[in-house]
Amino acid sequence: MLVRIGPLGLILAMMSGCATLVSNAANGFADNLSAAVMNQDDPETARAAIPSYMILIDSMIEGDPDNASMLSAAARLYASYGAVFADDDVRARRLTRKGREYGLKAMCTEYDDACGWRSLNYDDFVASLDAVPDKHAELLYTYGFATLAYLRAHSDDWNSLAELPQIEALFKHYLAIAGDKVDSATHTYMGILLTLRPPALGGKPDEARYHFERAIELSDGRDLTAKVEYARGYAKLLYERDLHDRLLQEVLSADPYADGLTLGNVLAKEDALVLLAEADDYF
């Protein structure tokens, strides 16, 4: 069964891809488009509209295949749509794979060492990663985000799970170089990474709890996705039923309408209902 990544951070990344796509034509239109989708309270409308931009950006890359900005936008679009809206496992894997490929190529065009990242062992990868400068923080984030979407869509593949320590290191380096531009969703991604495996297999639930709570704090509790992922990842992993149910009930009782967060919050409420319905069978 497909496990959907918490939607808010992915929707934000996806619409930032849309903004990049059309920014050369009209910056104001790009910003308004992003805001309109993020404030959409009907997920099916967003599901139907966004694929047009995916095809459009593919065509633009055909004409400018080494444009890092365009490649990065494509990575965010494909990874986001595959993680949030794909309706079956096969589509999710296909779309997130393409998003990851775009993300790596974007990084590779600006930082030559990245071209060989997929073949490096952990130590060599971290050594290369540590040399990524501040100016490439956004590209690094995009590759990490696209890879996280890919790995979660392939969570039943042990070869994919073996890459989790590398992506954890990637996000840590991103947090170190991004400065004030870090979005609270990054902490949600770190929490997801640290709870994809149980503690016996390398999971780090205590660190994950810190990141989930940090994401909630930074968004003043308005990011309902952080609470859903906190429940799904940490509370279920450690069989903390009270925490699990409390977080999800808070999501269900919260007002989803918040500037820039509405679509993600509506999707988070849908996830919360599913998780609560399954709770008696799990705990």
80 has pLDDT over 50:
yes
Examine residue 125 and state whether it is found in any structural domain, yes or no: no
Q: Are residues 149 and 188 in the same domain?
A: no
Question: Region 108-135: what's the mean pLDDT?
Answer: 95
Give the confidence band of 172 by pLDDT, cuts at 50, 70, 90.
Answer: very high
The structure tokens listed for 266 are: 């509506």
The structure tokens listed for 68 are: 């890092």
The structure tokens listed for 2 are: 């497909």
More confident residue, 55 or 239: 239
Q: Are residues 12 and 87 in the same domain?
A: yes
Give the whole-number percent of the chain exceeding pLDDT 90. 52
Give the whole-number percent of the chain exceeding pLDDT 70. 87
Q: Are residues 20 and 70 in the same domain?
A: yes
Examine residue 171 and state whether it is found in any structural domain, yes or no: no
Asked if 45 and 231 touch (Cβ cutoff 8 Å), the reply is: no
Examine residue 43 and state whether it is found in any structural domain, yes or no: yes
| CATH code of the domain in which 245 resides | 1.25.40.920
Give the confidence band of 259 by pLDDT, cuts at 50, 70, 90.
Answer: confident
Please classify residue 48 by burial: count the beta carbons closer than 10 Å to its beta carbon, then call 0-12 exposed, 13-18 middle and 19+ buried: exposed
Question: For the chain, what is the mean pLDDT?
Answer: 85
Number of domains forming the structure of the chain: 2
19 has pLDDT over 60:
no
Q: Are residues 14 and 101 in the same domain?
A: yes
Examine residue 165 and state whether it is found in any structural domain, yes or no: no
Question: Region 240-244: what's the mean pLDDT?
Answer: 97
Q: Are residues 153 and 59 in the same domain?
A: yes
Give the confidence band of 242 by pLDDT, cuts at 50, 70, 90.
Answer: very high
Which one-letter amino acid corresponds to residue 48?
A
Q: Angle at the Cα of 82 (from 13 to 109), degrees rounded to 5? A: 60
Examine residue 59 and state whether it is found in any structural domain, yes or no: yes
Q: How much is the pLDDT for 40? A: 81
Q: Which domain holds residue 231?
A: 184-283
Examine residue 172 and state whether it is found in any structural domain, yes or no: no
Question: Region 81-94: what's the mean pLDDT?
Answer: 90
Examine residue 40 and state whether it is found in any structural domain, yes or no: yes
Give the confidence band of 34 by pLDDT, cuts at 50, 70, 90.
Answer: low
Question: Region 231-247: what's the mean pLDDT?
Answer: 96
The structure tokens listed for 76 are: 């965010």
Q: Are residues 230 and 90 in the same domain?
A: no
Q: Are residues 150 and 195 in the same domain?
A: no
| Greatest Cα-to-Cα distance within the chain, rounded to the nearest angstrom | 54
d(CA 29, CA 188): 29
Q: What is the pLDDT of residues 64-77, one digit of tens each?
A: 899 898 898 888 88
Q: Are residues 144 and 232 in the same domain?
A: no
Q: Are residues 23 and 100 in the same domain?
A: yes
Q: Are residues 188 and 144 in the same domain?
A: no
Q: How much is the pLDDT for 200? A: 84
* Lowest mean pLDDT across 38-52, 94-108, 215-229: 38-52
Give the confidence band of 177 by pLDDT, cuts at 50, 70, 90.
Answer: very high
236 has pLDDT over 50:
yes
124 has pLDDT over 90:
yes
Q: Are residues 34 and 104 in the same domain?
A: yes
Q: Are residues 45 and 140 in the same domain?
A: yes
d(CA 222, CA 216): 7
Per-residue DSSP letter, 6 = P
Q: What is the pLDDT of residues 92-108, one digit of tens each?
A: 999 999 999 999 999 99
Question: Region 116-135: what's the mean pLDDT?
Answer: 95
